[in-house]
């Protein structure tokens, strides 16, 4: 612009210097309109002379040669006595920059006004000045400019703001009206300039632009994610190149953006409907939907979310996952345009959005801190993190009263066409400053595509660069800035080390973008990305103080958004690394496998920073690093590489479980809630957006890349290094079975379906999960095979029972294989062929006549209280004690204390008699059979009689095949009765506790007359109660009662009934109380390998876990250490490394040094052979390792 001093015969020297140094006036503050004169007493007829009645031969009339222009000044300066406000410019009518000849403003009702008579086409530069006795006070900023349009029959009105400041809210309505009037004028001018000869009436209005129909059926595709973070790239020193395809444009699913020539933005929401009838009253979902009904604009929708997240309290540190996920779904649909925003009435600058965002950010940060506590954290932390990028920035420039004003300057430039000006003004400027919404960013990015050459026009470089700057500002406001932008802004306030980290990352990022990236180069980039994110997360770890100043809040938001963006960028790098690795079908080198495993390690580290399963992810990360170091230490030794690959496979299986936990959590948080919200919003939300929401959130998260890398690596490791073609499956019980393949979540669900009569006949169960304590036969009739969707120890109670019952059993952890079963074979008649080499489940022809298995009745027992002897069968005599006492283990017999206690007594005797014995046995005492009945006799109100009556009722229910709730209630009643018994404290103290070291802990174990027998082990059927305080008799008594009560669990009762036991009164329970061994590792040992189908007697098979044996026996998901030892040679083969959760195996001695595992295997083989010889048959042995010693706690017949 030409400074006023260039014409300056009317300006002082000081004014000239000030004007010369001033920046261009923000012309976005110039409001131009026509036809409405703010009640100034000037009418159209008085403002413009009536046209002369002169024809030109075709009926049209010539336009006037003079245009009356009214200048209105608002937000005017303070005027003292003797001063006046003038309009001065380079035109004669404006005094040629001479204040003594300028136009004087007159005071009116709403401001000051003056009039100038100008010609069409005049280009006028001017400024406002206060002139008085003390001199002239010029308004700051550059010269204002005006190009006078062709004359019309209505006056031209120019609205001015003193010093470029925006008007107060009271002027906003007038501003809209002037804009609307100018729209009509410019539309008319366009027609006239295009050569139209039709007369346009002053009141004619153009109709709104047609809006294209919103797309409804967009198919879901896997998010590429690259577009999310690289919208700005550095090209040369200090030069920024803005890509035209921004994040908002790529992700937009809303209505097509239409560039407007007039103010056609509408608050019309006709056609929308809301239905809360299916939502729970008072729920956060109902609050979202009801709030949206009265919240058309983005600002109002943000306030709906604010009301849920903040609840009017400045400190709400506990956010419910349901509230967070509902808000996340709602804001996601808004940001992508699925739920559209509309005009909400009134003028609300973006500063209102920013202020609301700051309040929500505070609440979310506090909620994140609470949700991330502990080693496991809560999935709520992941949900909260999803909300941060959906909130606008609340940096100080956006909370100022005049945010984002650059667009006004752009809309009033003179180096762009008039139609482009109007489109920028009406599509972006006015809309943004009145009711900002996500659609404004999309419109801006689409406009940027045009001005950068998308429409074939050649715009000035200055204009293009200015529009780029505005786009960058707007992206920052919508929290959509590129990663590079965020990092460059952050490093200004960082120390040298942190700035070095950022520069190192940017350098690696730039290097990876040049040409095709190798796996090693991408690993380096992944390392830089992860390290930088860890730095930012450590800075955020201190939490947000209650009294944190606004500046600290601003910086925290920048840090938070940046570390989230780094995780998203790592997602992209992981995807590229997987592509560089190639498909899993080809054989990969050891170096390639290790490189991809380290990429996975970085992905897991990113998960550990999210506040959910932190300890588990950290342990996996440590183990992956340790595994890599171990392999690289000796790559020439084939056995060493095999063991390291076994270790890597264990770690991959553990990673897959973490991925499954994340997947299940995503589905649990989003799937049903998205469906309910989608239905409540009606047709506003497309069906695909509802159905695919949970899946799309999962697939767009880092855990999705972890799962894909895991799957590929598992195939390569198993096939290429472990020479296994059966890596998707694991056979626990080999054999062949046929039946209908039926799916259930758990075995208990099968039992319920069996009781309801909905399933019958031979069947193969496909189960999603199992605890490891179930019993197949007790779950229902006709079960011939089981396929379980997760790992299970081969020697867990469930696997042992399935083996004893002859039920074919296999596990499958491969998602593709499971999907084949679920989608192709469930409900069909199949054959299951399971061996150690492979498992095949295929459809087969159903037998023409299939015998339906009826539930077992009391006729013909499958098991009776007899055991084989040299002279046929002899009865097992049960002797119940007549006195309440405890006997030592070595004094326990099968008749008085059960097989388990008697066997433990024998083990103790053998260990004591042979000083060189390879094992020890914990000391203990036993409460013999009949003790529970004696305590019943001590209770008031004939408790013994009530107990006997309940047992009789139980027999009646079982005899009539009753099940379901009636049986459950009968079992519960019996257990509650036993657990409420009053056991004499003195008896417990003197007869039990006094026999043990007062510094130790105790375990109460079952020793029933219906367990640990050949043909009926009852493994895990009854309870063991751990960690009883030896100094607290009441605690010990509670443990004893719980063991007694476990005789009457539903599972135990059905198991005995299934075995042919005619009356539940025949079952008796003794209680074995032993010292708790401080177990470092626990093991289960079978002296005949149960996995092999042939030559099983040649081998001993062992499974080992860290900690207590419950992890192994109960079937907790995971794999134990597995050993196979040849008896003749003592050769130990390591079959698997342990991978149970919550253990850092990089610190476990057996993982660190596999030779220790080999040495342990040799000792266990010796132990197993000794006990097998002593008891005369293969043994199932349970024990523990503690302080260098082997403890045996149980030995029973293996079959």
Structure-token match 């560039």, residue found: 259
Q: Shortest CA distance to 405 belongs to which of 26, 900, 18? A: 26
User: From the CB of residue 275, how many other CB atoms can be counted at a distance below 10 Å?
Assistant: 11
Dihedral over alpha carbons 817, 818, 820, 826 (to 10 degrees):
140
Residues 1126, 1130, 1134: CA angle, nearest 5 degrees: 70
Q: What are 289-297's contacts with CB under 8 Å, separation 24+?
A: 289/677, 289/680, 289/681, 292/330, 292/339, 292/681, 295/344, 296/267, 296/269, 296/341, 296/342, 296/343, 296/344, 297/341, 297/342, 297/343, 297/344, 297/348, 297/435, 297/437
Q: Shortest CA distance to 988 belongs to which of 1071, 903, 1053, 910? A: 1071
DSSP single-letter state for residue 889? G
Q: How many CA atoms lie within 13 A of 355 on its CB side?
A: 11
Q: Could you tell me where the beta strands, DSSP code E, fall in 341-415?
A: none
Map residue 1083 onto helix, strand or coil. strand
Helix H segments across 453-518? 461-477, 483-491, 496-512
Map residue 794 onto helix, strand or coil. coil
928, with CB counted inside 10 A (0-12, 13-18, 19+), is buried
Q: How far is CA 328 from the centre of its chain?
A: 11
Contacts of 47 by beta carbon, 8 Å cutoff, 6+ apart? 37, 68, 70, 115, 154, 155
* DSSP, residue by residue, 408-422: HHHHT-SSS-HHHHH
What distances in angstroms separate CA 229 from CA 246, 324, 383, 751, one per listed residue? 9, 25, 20, 52
- In angstroms, the CA 464 to CA 190 distance is 24
797 in active site: yes
Beta strand 31-34 with 106-107 is unpaired
Map residue 633 onto helix, strand or coil. helix
Map residue 302 onto helix, strand or coil. helix
- In angstroms, the CA 282 to CA 290 distance is 10
Q: How many CA atoms lie within 13 A of 1058 on its CB side?
A: 19
- In angstroms, the CA 446 to CA 1163 distance is 74
Identify the active-site residue in 91, 688, 750, 797. Answer: 797
The token duo for 511 is 């290097």
* DSSP, residue by residue, 645-660: HHHHHHHHHHHHHHHH
Map residue 902 onto helix, strand or coil. helix
- In angstroms, the CA 159 to CA 29 distance is 9
37, with CB counted inside 10 A (0-12, 13-18, 19+), is buried
Structure-token match 């002082």, residue found: 12
997, with CB counted inside 10 A (0-12, 13-18, 19+), is exposed
Contacts of 487 by beta carbon, 8 Å cutoff, 6+ apart? 502, 505, 506, 532, 562
- In angstroms, the CA 923 to CA 904 distance is 9
* DSSP, residue by residue, 139-196: PSSS-EEEEPPPP-SS-EEEEEEGGGPPPPGGGHHHHHHHHHHHHHHHHHHHHHHTT-
Catalytic residue list: 797
């Amino acid at each position: 612009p030409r400074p006023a001093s260039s014409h300056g015969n009317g300006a002082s020297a000081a004014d000239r210097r000030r004007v010369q140094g001033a920046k261009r006036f923000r012309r976005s503050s110039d409001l131009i309109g026509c036809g409405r004169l703010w009640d100034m007493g000037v009418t159209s007829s008085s403002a413009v002379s009536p046209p002369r009645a002169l024809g030109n031969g075709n009926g049209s009339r010539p336009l006037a040669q003079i245009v009356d222009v009214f200048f209105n000044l608002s937000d005017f300066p303070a005027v003292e006595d003797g001063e006046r406000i003038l309009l001065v410019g380079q035109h004669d009518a404006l005094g040629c920059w001479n204040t003594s000849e300028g136009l004087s403003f007159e005071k009116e009702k709403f401001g000051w006004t003056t009039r100038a008579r100008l010609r069409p086409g005049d280009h006028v530069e001017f400024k406002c000045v206060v002139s008085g006795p003390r001199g002239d006070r010029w308004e700051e900023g550059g010269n204002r400019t005006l190009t006078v349009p062709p004359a019309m029959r209505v006056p031209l009105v120019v609205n001015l703001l003193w010093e470029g400041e925006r008007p107060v809210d009271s002027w906003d309505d007038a501003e809209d009206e002037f804009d609307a009037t100018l729209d009509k004028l410019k539309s008319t001018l366009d027609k006239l300039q295009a050569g139209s000869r039709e007369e346009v009436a002053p009141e004619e209005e153009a109709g709104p632009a047609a809006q294209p129909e919103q797309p409804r059926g967009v198919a879901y595709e896997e998010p590429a994610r690259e577009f999310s973070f690289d919208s700005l790239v550095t090209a040369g020193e200090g030069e920024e190149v803005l890509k035209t395809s921004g994040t908002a444009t790529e992700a937009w699913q809303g209505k097509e953006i239409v560039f407007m020539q007039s103010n056609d933005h509408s608050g019309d929401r006709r056609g929308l409907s809301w239905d809360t009838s299916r939502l729970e009253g008072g729920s956060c979902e109902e609050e979202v939907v009801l709030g949206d009904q009265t919240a058309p604009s983005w600002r109002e929708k943000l306030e709906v979310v604010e009301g849920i997240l903040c609840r009017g309290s400045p400190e709400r540190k506990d956010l419910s996952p349901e509230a967070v996920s509902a808000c996340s779904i709602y804001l996601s649909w808004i940001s992508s345009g699925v739920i559209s925003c509309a005009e909400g009435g009134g003028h609300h600058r973006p500063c209102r959005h920013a202020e609301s965002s700051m309040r929500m950010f505070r609440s979310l940060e506090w909620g994140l801190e609470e949700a991330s506590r502990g080693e496991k954290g809560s999935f709520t932390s992941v949900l909260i993190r999803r909300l941060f990028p959906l909130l606008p920035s609340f940096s100080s420039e956006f909370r100022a009263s005049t945010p984002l004003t650059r667009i006004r300057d752009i809309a009033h430039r003179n180096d762009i066409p008039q139609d482009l000006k109007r489109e920028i003004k009406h599509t972006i400027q006015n809309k943004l400053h009145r009711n900002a919404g996500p659609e404004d960013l999309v419109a801006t990015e689409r406009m940027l595509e045009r001005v950068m050459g998308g429409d074939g026009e050649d715009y000035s470089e200055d204009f293009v660069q200015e529009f780029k700057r505005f786009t960058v500002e707007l992206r920052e406001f919508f929290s959509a800035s590129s990663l590079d932008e965020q990092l460059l802004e952050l490093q200004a306030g960082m120390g040298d080390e942190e700035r070095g980290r950022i520069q190192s990352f940017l350098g690696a990022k730039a290097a990876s973008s040049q040409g095709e990236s190798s796996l090693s180069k991408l690993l380096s980039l992944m390392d830089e990305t992860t390290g930088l994110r860890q730095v930012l997360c450590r800075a955020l770890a201190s939490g947000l103080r209650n009294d944190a100043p606004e500046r600290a809040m601003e910086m925290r938001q920048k840090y938070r958004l940046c570390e989230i963006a780094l995780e998203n960028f790592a997602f992209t790098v992981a995807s590229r690394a997987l592509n560089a690795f190639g498909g899993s079908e080809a054989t990969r080198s050891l170096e390639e496998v290790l490189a991809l495993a380290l990429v996975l390690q970085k992905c897991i580290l990113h998960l550990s920073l999210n506040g959910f399963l932190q300890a588990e992810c950290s342990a996996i990360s440590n183990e992956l690093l340790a595994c890599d170091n171990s392999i690289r230490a000796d790559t020439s030794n084939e056995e060493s590489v095999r063991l390291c690959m076994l270790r890597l496979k264990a770690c991959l299986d553990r990673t897959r479980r973490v991925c499954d936990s994340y997947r299940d959590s995503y589905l649990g948080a989003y799937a049903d809630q998205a469906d309910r919200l989608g239905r409540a919003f009606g047709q506003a939300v497309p069906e695909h957006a509802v159905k695919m929401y949970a899946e799309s959130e999962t697939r767009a998260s880092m855990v999705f890349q972890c799962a894909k890398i895991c799957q590929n690596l598992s195939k390569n490791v198993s096939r290429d290094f472990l020479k296994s073609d059966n890596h998707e499956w694991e056979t626990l019980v080999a054999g062949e079975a046929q039946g209908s393949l039926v799916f259930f979540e758990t075995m208990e669900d099968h039992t319920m379906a069996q009781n309801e009569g909905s399933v019958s006949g031979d069947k193969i169960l496909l189960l999603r999960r199992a605890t490891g304590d179930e019993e197949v036969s007790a779950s229902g009739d006709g079960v011939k095979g089981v396929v379980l969707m997760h790992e299970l120890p081969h020697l867990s109670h469930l696997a042992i029972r399935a083996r004893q019952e002859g039920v074919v059993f296999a596990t499958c952890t491969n998602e593709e294989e499971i999907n084949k079963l679920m989608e192709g074979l469930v409900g069909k008649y199949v054959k299951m062929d399971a061996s150690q080499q492979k498992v095949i489940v295929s459809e087969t022809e159903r037998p023409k006549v299939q015998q339906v298995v009826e539930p077992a009745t009391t006729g013909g027992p499958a098991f009776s209280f007899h055991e084989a002897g040299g002279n046929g069968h002899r009865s097992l005599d049960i002797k119940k004690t007549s006195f309440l006492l405890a006997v030592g283990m070595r004094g326990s017999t099968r008749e008085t204390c059960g097989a388990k206690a008697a066997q433990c007594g024998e083990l103790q005797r053998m260990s004591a008699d042979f000083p060189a014995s390879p094992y020890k046995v914990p000391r203990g005492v036993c409460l013999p059979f009949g003790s529970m009945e004696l305590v019943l006799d001590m209770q008031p109100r004939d408790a013994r009689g009530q107990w006997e009556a309940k047992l009789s009722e139980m027999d009646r229910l079982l005899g009539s095949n009753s099940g379901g709730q009636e049986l459950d209630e009968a079992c519960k009643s019996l257990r509650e009765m036993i657990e409420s018994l009053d056991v004499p404290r003195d008896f417990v103290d003197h007869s039990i506790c006094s026999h043990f070291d007062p510094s130790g802990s105790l375990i109460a174990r079952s020793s029933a007359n219906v367990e640990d027998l050949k043909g009926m082990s009852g493994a895990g059927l009854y309870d063991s109660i751990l960690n009883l305080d030896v100094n607290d008799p009441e605690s010990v008594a509670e443990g004893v009662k719980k063991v007694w009560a476990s005789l009457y669990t539903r599972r135990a009762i059905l198991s005995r009934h299934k075995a042919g036991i005619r009356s539940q009164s025949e079952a008796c329970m003794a209680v074995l109380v032993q010292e708790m061994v401080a177990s470092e590792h626990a093991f289960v040992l079978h002296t005949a390998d149960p996995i092999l189908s042939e030559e099983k007697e040649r081998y001993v098979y062992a499974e080992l876990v860290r900690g207590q044996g419950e992890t192994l026996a109960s079937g907790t998901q995971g794999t134990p250490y597995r050993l196979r030892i040849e008896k003749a040679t003592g050769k130990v083969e390591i079959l698997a490394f342990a991978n149970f959760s919550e253990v850092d195996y990089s610190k476990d001695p057996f993982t660190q040094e596999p030779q220790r595992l080999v040495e342990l295997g040799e000792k266990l083989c010796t132990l197993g052979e000794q006990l097998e010889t002593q008891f005369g048959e293969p043994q199932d042995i349970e024990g523990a390792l503690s302080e260098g010693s082997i403890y045996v706690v149980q030995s029973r017949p293996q079959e």
